[in-house]
Each structure stands twice: as structure tokens, then as C-alpha cells.
Structure 1
Amino acid sequence: MKETDLYLPVKTLLISQGFKVKAEIKDIDILGAKDDFLCAVELKTKLSIKLIYQAIDRQKIVDQVYIAIPRSSIKMRSAAYKNLVYLLKRLEIGLIFVDDDVAQVVLEASIYNMEKSRARYKKRKQQTLKEFNLRKYSKNTGGTRDKRITRYKEQVIDIAIYLINHESASPKEIKEDTQILKTSSILQKNYDGYFERVSRGIYKVKDDKIEEIKKLKNIVKEGI
């Protein structure tokens, strides 16, 4: 499909919405006018950052901006599509899909409500703030793809260090010293495979994991 193949379906769509339509006005692919209200549509066969830039530039002089692309150019259920829709919403740019000879608005060019968005993700913000406040160390490097040290990982390390220093202990003893409330759960679930139960209610660090734990403790301490 060529960009020119997108023109007639999009023109027909705008006319059905009451717009008078003309093409290539001041480098705008399609411009619709309804009294003094202007709607611009940029036509492209595939997504690109240049297309987004063009749409943003059109917002300087028109009331609404859409981008129109072939439906086949992006997978509807893909992460890329989800991210695109979110980006366009934030930028207040609409999206039109053209499938064969039919154009359809899949995202309206409307004002983005930032307060509503923040309210929707309030729980995620609280979780993020909680993780920030609970984190004891600052080992992680921003931008790295290495495995991150989370608050949960910090707790695992602290429990393991206690067990190394005391050879073995019960969850109650560890919790009283470390103040880690989830001690029992961490020991029982043992996601990292560091611990083993030596008798009923008594745990230790596996012998082959001791050096690894010590290295991890030194690493997180260096990042304080």
C-alpha cells in the first residue's frame, strides 16, 4: 500500500464527519475544515519518529491532528501498539487505520487528562514509593540491564548473613534480630535456593551458597 492509497479512504471519512477536505495545504497531507475548525491528517505507510514529529508540528496551527496508517502495518495486540496508543494519547494525537478502502478512527485526538491518569496509577505510585523508602542500599545503577537488587533481595541477604553468623536459627530468632516481618515466608519459599532446613523450624545457609551471599553483602554495602 502506498501513501496515495490512504488518501481517498481518509478523505471519505472526514467528509462523512462534515469536513470540507483538501490535500497538500502548507505541506499537510490532508486538511479538513469545518467553519474555523481545522483537522490535519498525516499519511504514512508505516510508523516512524518522523511521523510523530510531523504531527506535533501540525498541532501548532490546527485544532486536531491525526496520523493515518495501514491497519496491517502494526499488530493490534502487540506491545508496540499498546505503547503507541499511550504515546499518542499523551501527545493528544489521533490515530486512523486504513484497511482496504475503509478508514476508521481508532483513537480520537482529544485532550489528555493527566490527573485522571495519575489517579488510575495511584496504587503503582504508592508501591514505587514504598520500595524506595524501604530500600536500605543504593547498589543499582540507573540504565543498567544487570539484575537489580530489590528490597526483597536485600531482606534475603540480611537473613542469610544472620544465619551465616549464627550457623543456624529459627525464623522467630531471625525476625527478632533483623526486624524482617516476612522472615518465615522468605525461608519457606526460598526462591533463590540459598536456604535449607536442618530440622523442624531451624534453617541454615547452604554450604555452597555462603561465599555468594558474602559477595552480595559486600556489593550492596559498597552502594550505600
Structure 2
Amino acid sequence: MKETELFIPVKELLLSQGFDVKGEIKDIDVLAYHKDMMIGVELKTKISLKLIYQAIDRQKVLDQVYIAVPKSAIYQSKSLYRNFTHLLKRLEVGLIVVDHETAEVIIEAVPFDRNKSRSRYKKRLENIDQEFKLRKNKQNIGGTRGKKITRYKELVIDIGSYLMKHQQASPKAIKESTGIEKAASILQKNYDGYFERVDRGIYQLTEKGKIEISSLKNQLQENK
């Protein structure tokens, strides 16, 4: 689909809402007037940073700014759609999607309510806050990819250290000694393959666990 093929569906949409519409006014693809409101629409066949720059630039002089793209450009993946639409909302830029000969407003160009947006992610904020406050080590280097010591990993190391000393133990004994409330869950889920159950309610370290727990402990000691 060409940019020019987006024009007629977008124009008809705006006309149906009572706007007077013209194309290519100065460097604005579509300009629409209704009473005292002036709206601009940028037509593009694909999403790009340049498109965002253009939309922001139009906001300097227009009441509202929209971008119009083909449906195929915005629905390539769920993550792309989610992240891109959130960005547009933050920037107060509207989104029009064109499917064949039909145009539809997906996002209105309205003021962004940051407090309302943040309230939807309270659990995520709580997890970040908890990770920061509970994590003991400060050895992780920002920008690192791959292995890093998280709060969860610290708990795994503490449980592993206890089992190194006592060979075998129950989740209850580990919890009482280390104070780790989620000891049973960590042992049972065993995401890293460090633990194994040797009897009902009794766990020990696997060979992998012995090697990697020792390595992690040394890593923490070296970086102190």
C-alpha cells in the first residue's frame, strides 16, 4: 500500500466527523479543520522513528496530531503493537489504522494521564521496589547481559550454602535456620536444577548445584 492510498480513507473518516479536509498543506500530509480545531495527519506505510519526529514537530502548531498507517504495519506482533501504542499515548499522538478502504481511529490524540497509567502497573512497581530493598549484593554492573545476581539467586545461594554444610535437610529446617519463607517453593520448583529430593520432604544439592553454588559464592566474595 502506498502513502497516497491512505489519503482517501483518512479523508473520508475526517469528513464523516464534520471536518473540512485538504491534502499537502505546506509539509503536512492531511490537514483538517472543524470550528476552531486544526488536526494534522501524517501518512506512512510503516512505523519509524522519523514518523514520530514528524508527529512531534506538527504538535508545535496544531491542536491534535495523528499518524495513519496500514493495518499490516501496526499488527506485526503483540509486543510491537503494545509498545508503540503506549508510546503514542505518552506523546499524545493519535493513531489511525487503514484496512483496505476503511480508516479507523485506534488511539485518540488526548492528554496523557500518567498517574492512571502507572496505577495499572502497581504490581510491577512493587516487584521492583522489593527487589531493590531486599537484595543484599551490589556487585551487578549496569548494562550486563546474561548472568546476574538477583534477590531470588541470593536466596538460592543461601539455601545451597545451608545444604553444603548439612548435606541434606527439609524445607522446614532450612526455613527455620535461614529465615527464607519461600524455601519450600524454591526447592520444589528448582528452576536452575541445583536441588534434588532424596526422600519425602528431604533435599540435597545436585552435582551441578554444588559446582555453581560454590562459583556464585566465590563471585560474591571476589566482588566485595
Q: Taking structure 1 as the reference length, what is the TM-score of the superposition? A: 0.90
User: Partner residue of 1:131?
Assistant: 131
Provide the C-alpha distance between the structure 2 equivalents of 1:184 and 1:6, rounded to a whole number of angstroms.
Answer: 58
Higher relative contact order (CA 8 A, sep 6+): 1
The 3-state SS of whatever aligns with 2:112 is: coil
* 1:196–1:56 Cα change, 3 Å: same
Find the counterpart in structure 1 of residue 191 from structure 2.
191
How far apart, CA to CA, are the structure 2 residues paired with 1:223 and 1:76? 43
Query: In the aligned structure 1, how far is the partner of 2:12 from the partner of 2:136?
Result: 60
**Does the Cα contact within 8 Å between 2:135 and 2:151 map onto a contact in 1?**
yes
Q: Secondary structure at the match of 1:142?
A: coil
Q: Which amino acid is the alignment partner of residue 60 of structure 2?
A: K
> Against the structure 1 CA distance between its residues 64 and 163, is the aligned structure 2 distance closer, same or farther, given a 3 Å change threshold?
same
**Runs of at least 5 residues in structure 2 that lack an aligned partner in the other structure:** none
Amino acid at match of 1:121: Y
**How many pairs were matched up?**
224
- Alpha-carbon spacing, 1:72–1:199, altered in 2? closer, same or farther (3 Å): closer
Partner of 2:28: 28
Relative distance call for 1:122 and 1:78 in structure 2 (3 A) is closer
Cα separation, partners in 2 of 1:12 and 1:213, compared to 1, 3 Å: same
Q: Does 1:74 align with 2:74?
A: yes
**Cα-Cα RMSD:** 2.0
1:6-155 pair list within 5 angstroms: 6-75=6-75, 78-155=78-155
1:77-128 Cα deviation digits (max 9, x unpaired): 5221121111111111111112222221111111111111111212221122
Cα pair 1:139 1:222 within 8 Å, conserved? no
CA contact (8 A) 1:94 1:107 kept: yes
The question of whether the paired residues in 2 share the 8 Å contact of 1:138 and 1:220 is answered with: no
Which one-letter code corresponds to 1:9 in the other structure?
Answer: P
Report which stretch shifted further, 139-148 or 1-10.
139-148
Q: TM-score when scaled to structure 2?
A: 0.90
Structure 1, unaligned stretches of length 5 or more? Answer: none
Q: Offset at 1:198?
A: 4.0
Q: Distance in 2 between matches of 1:2 and 1:189?
A: 52
